[in-house]
Structure 1
Amino acid sequence: MRVSNQSSVSEFLLLGLSRDPQQQRLLFLLFLTMYLATVLGNLLIILSIGTDSRLHIPMYFFLSNLSFVDVCFSSTTVPKVLANHLLGTQAISFSGCLTQMYFLYLFALMDNFLLAVMAYDRFVAICHPLHYTTKMTQKLCVLMVAGSWVTASLSVLLHTLLIAQLSFCGDNAIPHFFCDLTPLLRLSCSDTYLNELMILTEGAVVTVTPFVCILISYIHITSAVLRVSSPRGRRKAFSTCGSHLTVVCLFYGTIIAVYFNPASAHSSEKDTAATVLYTVVTPMLNPFIYSLRNSDLKGALYRVVHRGTFSV
């Protein structure tokens, strides 16, 4: 039921991905399967790294943090989609919408920052291998992760507080399966100039800066690897960052498809599909990408599963 004009909006309607009942049932099963795979896969990564002392090095410390963030990232949207389907409702309260938006962008930014931190880790490991242990200390690793949390929290809090100051009246239907910033601004009957200005300035800085850092790191990594005379040495050097580079391409590729295309190239179906990729599919694929391309992690995962199987 839509709120009539000139009234204050107390809840929003999440229209979801489809209005066809048959498609909704199929999407429910698909989302449930992907969510369970995301949670199970990432928790196995965290457990494997935590229980294997050989993996207590910076690269895996950052990977375990990324896995934790991916579980939280998916948990901000998918459970609500599943609950709405089971309860036969599309409603989300105003406060619930702001809360979902806050945590969604918090974990998205953390993914962004952690991918940049992991790129720096690979840069030091490949370009300055003799100084790796002295540069990538435990204290520095903890500080980089903690700094990422603080920066992401403050940035997202700013945008959430600005949204909370807006007035919403008239149409309260969000053509999405979660509370996204852009649809909310379109529904507001207040002046959104300040919100849009902060998105283009502060929002762009905290989003683009990690991406630029990743590009710079890989430019240096590529340059260093190409100077290696042995083909085997070059393959080994590239293999150490292959998984990370795959995840970076998948994460940023879908985000660019949604947010950095001309308006004429946009359609609600394409944008929604790309959004599903980076909010649901990417967190699910990350554990598989890292475990399949990393023999040490694959071995740790095998030992965890093997130990769990025989202890039952």
Structure 2
Amino acid sequence: MSSLNASSYKNTSIVHPEYFFISGLSGIPYSSYYYVFLFITYFITIIGNSVVLLIIAFERSLHSPKYIVVFNLALADIGETNALIPNMMKTFLFDSQYISYNACLVNMFFVFLFSTMQSFTLVVLAYDRFVAICLPLRYHAIVNNSSITLILSAKWAFNSSMVALMVSLITRISFCDSNVIQSYFCDHGPVYRLACNDNSINRFMGSFITCLYLVVPLAIIILSYIGIFLALNKITTWESRLKALKTCVSHLLLVGIYFLPMSCTYIAAWLLALAPNARVITTSLAYTISPMLNPIIYVLNTAEIKDLLRKMFKNKSAPSKDNIAK
């Protein structure tokens, strides 16, 4: 590699590239159509999540623990989408597939930070539903704005620390054979696999992060819903059970569209040894579809938000008194 700079130590030489080449979708047939799809996905994601953010921010009736968490989820969706799709569109529009070493690490940090925030936010929403259904009389004492803000702040701090540690361990890797990343962004796995020195700690960290932010949250959510269904069985009337269950529909849909694609992608990559192009397509879909659908699901399945949107459109479409007088 012609563009490598070496930093020599007593017994070891760590070689860092000046830049990486992100292969992305370059080897995929008809990739231009996929880029068009990504552009539409980006537009819907930014508009949808921005609308959710504005509604929650300016409507005082939504300043409650549940919607503070939804606000946090929308922020994570916008952050992850902005960390991923604009760089991919730059590759398509300007044929620019190079990224500097430091920019690559920054890109890796933000993609994984916002993705892990999505995962943990879904756990907090499961906690909210669990307390609301299993401990309804104590809900407002346990789940309030102060406690939720504290949980979310701790989650941001913890996730930032874990992802920063994972990214910092990349700096101990020496790249002396190739600087071509077989992915559409500076993905952790494809980057550490380029190492020509020992990368066992990076491999362990990758597995640990996957377990921590995919397996553990999903297990906690499943356990919380086992508790919810047990509590629902104690409710005597079907109408009351159905009413309580309806409050979980939005969250269950969010869990499904986030964890199912992610789980299928990682399981398929592990069991089937997916080709690089297949891995690029599956992971990019898993990372981009969920942020796009989250606001749509909440708008369509949340009565409070639908009522507010209805009122807004009615106020805009209703003729003013001056016009009626004329």
Per-residue deviation, residues 112-168 of structure 1 (Å, max 9, x unmatched): 111001100000111111111111121101111001101100000111110112111
Q: Is the 8 A contact 1:98 1:160 kept in 2?
A: yes
2:61 match: 54
Contact 1:255 1:275 in 2 (8 A): yes
Alpha-carbon contact 2:184-2:284 (below 8 Å) kept: no
Matched, 1:141 2:119: no
The residue that corresponds to 2:302 in the other structure is 294
Match of 1:65 among 64, 72, 84: 72
The letter of the residue matching 1:236 is: K
Contact 2:42 2:85 in 1 (8 A): yes
Alignment RMSD, CA only? 2.3
1:177 aligns with 2:184: yes
Say whether residues 1:160 and 2:177 are aligned partners. no
Distance in 1 separating the partners of 2:190 and 2:269: 17
Q: Is the 8 A contact 1:70 1:111 kept in 2?
A: yes
Q: 1:13 aligns with which of 17, 21, 36?
A: 21
For residues 96 and 56 of structure 1, do their structure 2 counterparts lie closer, same or farther at Cα, with a shift above 3 Å needed?
A: same
Partners in 2 of 1:285 and 1:260 — Cα distance? Answer: 23
2:36 is aligned with 1:29: yes
Q: Structure 1 unaligned runs (5+)? A: none
AA in 2 matched with 1:189? C
2:269 and 2:279 in contact (8 A); partners too: no
Aligned-pair identity in percent equals 31
Q: Following the alignment from structure 1 to structure 2, what is the Cα–Cα distance between the partners of residues 309 and 10? A: 57
CA, structure 1 residues 120+59, in 2 after alignment: closer, same or farther (shift >3 Å)?
same
8 A Cα contact 1:3 1:172, kept in partner: no
What one-letter code is carried by the residue in structure 2 that aligns with 1:281? I
In the other structure, the counterpart of 1:276 is: 284
| Offset of residue 106 of structure 1 | 0.6
1:123, 1:220 within 8 Å by CA — same for their partners in 2?
yes
CA distance in 2 between partners of 1:83 and 1:146 (Å): 33
Whether the aligned pair in 2 keeps the contact of 1:48 and 1:304 (CA below 8 Å) is no
The answer to whether the 8 A contact 2:41-2:292 is kept is: yes
TM-score (structure 2 length as normaliser): 0.87
**8 Å CA contact retained: 2:129, 2:248:** yes
Is structure 2 residue 96 aligned with structure 1 residue 94? no
Q: CA deviation at 1:226?
A: 2.3
* Larger Rg, first or second structure (1 or 2): 2
How far residue 231 of structure 1 moved from its aligned partner, in angstroms, is 1.6
Equivalent residue pairs, number: 309
| Cα deviation, residue 51, structure 1 | 1.8
Once structures 1 and 2 are overlaid, which stretch shifts more, 169-178 or 63-72?
169-178
AA partner of residue 281 (structure 2): A
Structure scoring higher RCO (CA < 8 A, sep ≥ 6) equals 1
Q: Deviations over 1:16-38 (max 9, x none)?
A: 22446x82332222111110100
- Provide TM-score, normalisation by structure 1: 0.91
Residues 19 and 70 of structure 1: CA distance in aligned 2, closer, same or farther (over 3 Å): same
Q: Which amino acid aligns with 1:176?
A: S
CA spacing shift, 1:62–1:36, aligned 2, 3 Å: same
Offset at 1:224?
A: 1.0
Q: Deviations over 1:45-102 (max 9, x none)?
A: 1111122222121111100110011000111110001112111121111111111111
> 1:203: Cα distance to partner?
5.5
Instruction: Select between 166-175 and 139-148 the one with higher mean Cα deviation.
Output: 166-175
